[in-house]
Chain A
Amino acid sequence: MPSNKLLPLAEAVRRYTWDGMQYASGAALPVGSDAIVFGRELLRQQRRDLHGIFHCNTQQLNLLAGAGAATKAECGFSGLEVFGFANGLRRAVESGQLALEDYSNLAMAARLLGGAMNWPFVPATVNIGSDIQDRSAFAPDEYPSKRKIPSVTDPFSGREIGAFSPLKPDLAAIHVSLADPLGNAIMLGTEWSRFELSRAAKKVVLIADAIVDTDCMRQFPNLVRIPDIIVEAVVYWPFAAWPQSSPGLYDVDESHMKFMNKALATEQGTADYVRDFVDSYSDIDSYLDLIGRDTIAKLSDSATSFLLDPFRQWIKTPAEIAALSAENSAEVAA
C-alpha cells in the first residue's frame, strides 16, 4: 500500500480510463467547479466513444462533445448558465454525433444516490408527466418511452409515479478544492452531487487545486465529505477547473469562457482550440503559463478568498508535493 496516492494527471488518465467507458465528472457545474483539465487529458490521450455522466454540462463536456470524443451523455442541464448555450455540445447533438439523454438536476442527483445505495430504482416524483419521461435519445423510436422513466405504482398510496434508473459510472473524476495525499477531500462552495457521485462510481480519482497535510483533515473532519477509503488516486493540478471557478481559490475566467465556447461552435474552431489549449502544454508550469500569470493573479484575487483562510497553514508547496509523488512512484515501482 503506497503511503500516498498522488499520481500525475497523465498517469491517472492512462490507468483509469478507456474508450467506451461510462465516465462521470464532478462537480459537473457549468460555472462553479469541474475538473476541466481531466477532460483536456482525455483528449490528449485520444479517448473515444465516451458515455458522459454529467450532472450538468460543463466546459469539459462541451469540449469532449465538440471534439467528438463523447458519443453519449446524460445531463440535468446542458447549457453554460449565463454564458449561454454550450456550442460544442449543441453542435454534437444537432448533428446526431452525440445522443443526449435529458433528465432534471434533481433526477441526476437522485440517480447517483440510487447507485450509491445499490437500489434497484429510485422513486421519481419529478420529470414524470413531461417529455423528459416520454422522450428518450437512447431509444428514439419508442414513444412514449417505457424504459427511461417507467411508470410504477406506489405500493402504499396506489398513486402512479416514475422509476429512475440508478447510476454507477465506471469512473468519477472529481474536482475538489483541497485533498491530502491519502485522498481525503474538502470542497469549498456547493458540493452539488459530489458526495453521492463519490459513492456511486466504481472508482474515484480526485483532482485537487491544492494539497494539504492530513492534519488539516483532522482539524475539520466534518468538512471531509470524501474520505480516503473510497479514493484510488489524487491528482494535484492548480487551476484544474479553469476557465471555470473554484470558490476560495479563483474566479471564473469570463473572457476565456466566452472565447472557448465560441471556438467550440465550429469544427475548425474546436481543432484550433485543441491545438492551442489542449495539446500545447507539457506540465503544470507550462499550463499556468498558458493561462497567463497576470490572469492567474487577477482570478486569484477573488471575493471568496477568505474561504481558504482556515486551511492555508496546511497547504503544501509544489516542491513538497513533488517529493511525495517521487516517494509514491518509488514504492509503486518496488
Chain B
Amino acid sequence: MSTVANENLPYTRQEMMAIATGRELRDGELAIFGVGLSMLAGYFAQAHHAPNIRAMTEGGVYGATPVGGLPWGIECNRISANATSFTNAIDALGFLVASGRCDVGIIGAAQVDKFGNVNTTGIWEGEIGDSYRLPKTRLTGAGGANDIACGAGRVVIMVTHEPKRFADKVSYISSPGYLEGGNARERYGFVGKGPSAIITTLGILRPDPVSKEFILEAYYAFSSIEEILASTGWDLKVSPTVHVVPEPTPEELAALRRVDATGALRKA
C-alpha cells in the first residue's frame, strides 16, 4: 500500500507528499486550504518557510493555527481556538476566492485525470451515459473545491498515487482542471488559472503549457519513473527534465510533525 512507509525511510510517503505540496506555497500569499491533509500541508508551509502566508479556510476562519492535531473540519474547534476573525462562506469562498484575490488553493481528489479535472462526487462503472444513473459508490461531492478550482489563482491538487485514482477521463467533473485541455477554461472565463501541480505520494506532475496535459516532472527518492507510470491510468508522458525531488530536511519534518500532532500522515 502506497500510503505506508514500506521502505526504511525516516518519513512516510504521505509526509513527503505534504512537504512537496507545502513547498509550492510562497510567503505572503493569500491561501485557502481544504479539509484534511491539504490543511496539514498548508499549515506546514506556514510553520516552516512561509510565516507570513495569509491562511484561511472556506468557513471564514482567519488568523488561526490548528491546536491539538489535524482539525476534523474546516470549522472544527481545533481551528476555532485562536482565530482572529470568524465570518462566513460567502466571504471566504466569494469575496476572497471568486473575486480573484486568493493566490493559491490546495484541494484533494478521489480521482484526477490527465487535464487535472477532479472527481469527488462518485464512482460509476464506465461512463455515466445520457441518463444520470445511480453511482456505484457515492463520494463527498464538491464542497468548496469547485469554487477554489474556479477562483484561486492557482490550485495544487494533492492525491494518493494509485491507478484507479489516475484516470484518462474522470467519470464526473466535480472541480474543473483544464477540462478538455488547451484553452478550454477560457470558455467559462474562470478568474483562476487552473491547477499548477498534482502532487502525489509518488511524485510531481505539471501541465504542459500548451496542451495542459499533465506530465511527470519529478519523482521521490523512494519512487521511480517506472512505478509512477505503472500507477497512472493514462499514458503519462515524462518531462525531458524529470528529476528527483529533494528529500525532506530535518527542519521540514520537525515543522510538519508539530502541525500534524496526531500523526495523521504517519498512519496507514
Contacts and interface: CB of A to CB of B under 8 A. Distances in A.
Interface of A: 27, 29-33, 55-57, 75-79, 81-83, 85-86, 89-90, 93-96, 100, 102-110, 113, 125-132, 135-137, 140-141, 143, 159-161, 188-196, 245, 247, 251-252, 254, 257, 302-304, 307
Given A110-B90, A129-B176, A76 B134 contact: no
Contacts of B81: 302-304
B84 interface: no
Contact of A76 (B72, B142, B172): B142
A109 to B, nearest CB: 4
B80 interface: yes
Contacts of B146: 104, 106-107, 126-127, 130, 132
B160 to A, nearest CB: 15
Given A143-B130, A190-B59, A303-B81, A252 B141 contact: no
Nearest to B58: A105
Given A136-B132, A252-B72, 12 more contacts: A29-B73, A31-B75, A81-B73, A104-B93, A109-B93, A129-B176, A130-B142, A141-B130, A141-B131, A192-B59, A193-B88, A303-B77
B142 A94 contact: no
Interface in B97-149: 97-98, 121, 128, 130-147
B93 to A, nearest CB: 4
Given A79-B139, A130-B173, A135-B132, A189 B88 contact: no
Interface stretch (B14-22, B185-193, B232-240): B185-193
Interface stretch (B4-12, B23-31, B60-68, B212-220): B60-68
B89 A106 contact: yes
B143 A31 contact: no
A69 to B, nearest CB: 18
B134 A102 contact: no
B179 interface: yes
Contacts of A30: 73
A189 B58 CA distance: 13
Contacts of A93: 134-135, 138
27 contacts: A31-B76, A57-B141, A77-B140, A78-B141, A79-B140, A81-B72, A82-B36, A90-B137, A94-B134, A94-B138, A105-B89, A105-B93, A105-B143, A105-B147, A106-B94, A106-B146, A126-B151, A127-B146, A135-B132, A135-B172, A143-B132, A160-B187, A160-B188, A193-B89, A194-B88, A303-B81, A307-B80
Contact of A137 (B132, B150, B191): B132
A254 B187 CA distance: 44
B46 interface: no
A56 B141 CA distance: 10
A106 B188 contact: no
Contacts of B75: 27, 29, 31-33, 189-190, 192
Nearest to A187: B86
A190 B187 contact: no
A97 B121 CA distance: 17
Nearest to B89: A109
Contacts of A56: 143
Nearest to B121: A102
Contact of B59 (A32, A82, A102): A32
A108 B88 CA distance: 12
Contacts of B190: 125, 129
B141 A102 contact: yes
Contact of A82 (B72, B139, B141): B72
B144 A77 contact: yes
Contact of A140 (B97, B131, B140): B131
A192 B141 contact: no
B201 interface: no
Contacts of A188: 86
B203 interface: no
Contacts of B179: 129
A125 B189 contact: yes
A161 B35 contact: no
B52 interface: no
B70 interface: yes
B138 A130 contact: no
A77 B141 contact: yes
A81 B89 contact: no
B76 A252 contact: yes
B174 interface: yes
B109 to A, nearest CB: 13
Contact of A252 (B77, B86, B131): B77
